[in-house]
A and B are shown apart, each in its own frame.
Chain A
C-alpha cells in the first residue's frame, strides 16, 4: 500500500517542484510573455530547475534536504499562481498527471534495471544518493567519464521517495517524457479527446519500457523534443527573448546527459542551418553558442573530473585508419551490416515507420513545405552521421557496439519527428492552427 501511496506522492511532488519558480503572473507581468499555457510554464521551470540541479551536482549537498527545500519553496509558490488562466488546460493537465501515474505503476510493478542501468548508471546514482559529488565519479566502477545529469536527477527523486528503492527515482524520466509529449500536443488545434487519443498513439509508438529501465535515452529523447519546441517558439531570431536563454540551457542539458549529447545538439542545428528565414548572423551566433557549450563541458570535465583530455569524448571510441576505411570489401561488409541494423531499429521504434509514411504522404500530395524539407534533411543527416560513427570505429567489437547502440542513438533523435507527425495529422484532419499554435 505504501508503494501505491508513494507513486501518487512522488508524481504530485514532481508537479509541484516543477511549478516553481516561474508563475503565470510573473511571466506575464515581469517578463511580459502573454499567451503561455501551463505546459510551457512547466517547460521553463523544468529547464531552469534542472540546470540548477546540474550545477549542484558538482557540489556535495544533502539531497534529501535539497528535495524538501525545493518542495517547500514550490508549495509557497503555489499561492502566487493565477489559476483562472489555466481553466482551459486543467483537464488536459490532469491527464498529464494520470499518464505519469499509470506508467510509474508499470515500472513499480516490474522494477528491473537493464544492462546499462545496473552496470554503469546505478553506481553514478548511488554516488549522488550517498552524498558525493560529480568529482567522485573517478572512484566508482565502470565508465566514470559519463556525464552526471540523468543520474543526479534520478538520485534526487529517489531521496525524496517514501520507499527506499532506486526505481522510485526513475519517475523523473517519465516526467520529462510526458512533459515533451503534452507540450507538443498542447499547441495543436484538436479538442481534448482527440489530443488524449494522439498522446496515447504517440506513447504506443515511442514508449519503450526497456529504455526506462536505467538508460538515459528517454531523457535525451525528451530534451531533443523540448529543444525543437523552443527552436520553433523563437520565430524571430533577430529579437532576443527569454526563450533564447532557455534554448541554450536545454541544449546544455543534452550535453550533460550522455557523452554523445554534443552530437545530438549538432544534429538539431540542421533546423537552424537550413532554414532560409534565419539570417546568417543568427546562425553564426547559434553555432558559437553550441561550440561554447561543447568547450565548456570539456573544460569542466578536464578541470573538475581529472586531467584526462579524453574525459569529454567517449573513451571507447578510436578512429579507423583511412586505408582501412576505403578498403572496398571492408566498407561493403560494414555498410550492409549497418543497413540491416538500421532497418531493425526502424522496425523496433514505430515512430520511424510513421515518419516515413507521413513523409511519403506529403511528397505525393506535393505538400513539401520548408518544415517537411528540414525534417527530411534532419532524417538524412542523422541517418548518415549515426552510421558513420560505426563505420569509423576501429575496434574489433564495432559489430557488437552497433547491435546494442545504434537503435538507442536513433531513438534519442526520433522525438523530432513527433512534430512532423502531428503537423501531418493536422493537415489530414484539415485543422487550422490558431494563434496559439506553432508556426511550422
Chain B
C-alpha cells in the first residue's frame, strides 16, 4: 500500500516538474521571440508586400532607387540590362554610381546603354520633356537622350 502511495506521489511530482519545465521553456521561447521582434516582423510580413519593403529598404526615388527602377521596368516592359546611374555624392566615381544595376541584372546579357535611368540626379540640372538633351555625368558625356518618364529627381531617358 505504502509502495503504491510512494509511486503515485513520485508520479505527481514528475508531472509537476514536467509542467514547470514546459512553462519555463515556453517563457524562454516568448522572450527570445520578443527580443528579436519575431511577432512584429511576422505581422509586418503579412501586412506589407515585398515590393513595398524593398522600396523602404533601398529607397523609392532616393538611395538605391529601387521603387523608381521597379516602376520604370514594369511600366515600359523592360526585360534587359539597362544603364542605371546614381547621382548620390557618396558614390564618387562613375563606376561606383552604376551599383543599382544589380536589382534586375541578367547574367551574360550586355547592358543597353541607349536606355538610361538616372537616380538622385542633382536638382539644379533640370531635364525637360520633348527635347533632346546632352549632359555630363561624373566625367562621362551623354548625348541625344530624350526624357520618357520623370519623378522628382529621377529620370528615365531613351536615346
**Which residues of A are at the interface with B, using a C-beta cutoff of 8 A?**
1, 3-4, 7, 91, 95, 98-99, 102-103, 105-106, 108-112, 118-119, 122-123, 126-127, 129-130, 132, 136, 139-141, 163, 165, 192-193, 196-197, 200
Q: Could you say which residues of chain B place their CB within 8 Å of the CB of A130?
A: 106-108
Q: Could you say which residues of chain A place their CB within 8 Å of the CB of B32?
A: 99, 102, 196, 200
**Which residues of B are at the interface with A, using a C-beta cutoff of 8 A?**
21, 24-25, 28-29, 32-33, 35-38, 41-42, 44-46, 50, 53-54, 57-58, 64, 99, 101-102, 105-108
What CA separation (Å) do A112 and B33 show in the bound complex?
Answer: 21
Q: Which residue of B is nearest A105, CB measured?
A: B41
- The dominant DSSP class at the B interface is helix
> Assuming A102-B36, A132-B107, is B45 touching A4 (CB within 8 A)?
yes
A91 to chain B, nearest CB (A): 7
Q: CB within 8 A of B24: which of A122, A132, A193?
A: A193
The answer to whether A109 touches B53 (Cβ under 8 A) is yes
The answer to whether A136 touches B53 (Cβ under 8 A) is no
The answer to whether B25 touches A103 (Cβ under 8 A) is no
B55 to chain A, nearest CB (A): 11
> Assuming A111-B53, A193-B25, A197-B28, is B99 touching A118 (CB within 8 A)?
yes
What CA separation (Å) do A98 and B33 show in the bound complex?
Answer: 9
The answer to whether A112 touches B58 (Cβ under 8 A) is yes
> Assuming A139-B108, A197-B28, is B57 touching A111 (CB within 8 A)?
yes
The answer to whether B42 touches A123 (Cβ under 8 A) is no
Q: CB within 8 A of B102: which of A1, A105, A122, A192?
A: A122
A281 to chain B, nearest CB (A): 47
Q: CB within 8 A of A103: which of B36, B44, B57, B108?
A: B36
Tally inter-chain residue pairs, CB-CB below 8 A: 82
Q: Could you say which residues of chain B place their CB within 8 Å of the CB of A119?
A: 99, 102
The answer to whether B28 touches A3 (Cβ under 8 A) is no
What CA separation (Å) do A122 and B99 show in the bound complex?
Answer: 11
Q: CB within 8 A of A136: which of B28, B57, B101, B108?
A: B108
A423 to chain B, nearest CB (A): 23
Q: Could you say which residues of chain A place their CB within 8 Å of the CB of B35?
A: 200
B112 to chain A, nearest CB (A): 15
The answer to whether B38 touches A110 (Cβ under 8 A) is no
Some 11 contacts from A to B, beta carbons below 8 A apart, are A4-B45, A91-B25, A95-B29, A102-B36, A105-B41, A108-B41, A109-B44, A110-B57, A111-B53, A126-B107, A193-B21
Extra inter-chain contacts (11) besides given A141-B101, A196-B28, CB under 8 Å: A98-B29, A102-B36, A105-B42, A105-B45, A106-B36, A112-B57, A123-B107, A129-B107, A163-B50, A192-B25, A193-B21
> Assuming A112-B57, A118-B99, is B38 touching A105 (CB within 8 A)?
yes
What CA separation (Å) do A192 and B24 show in the bound complex?
Answer: 10
Q: CB within 8 A of A196: which of B25, B37, B58, B105?
A: B25
What CA separation (Å) do A99 and B32 show in the bound complex?
Answer: 9
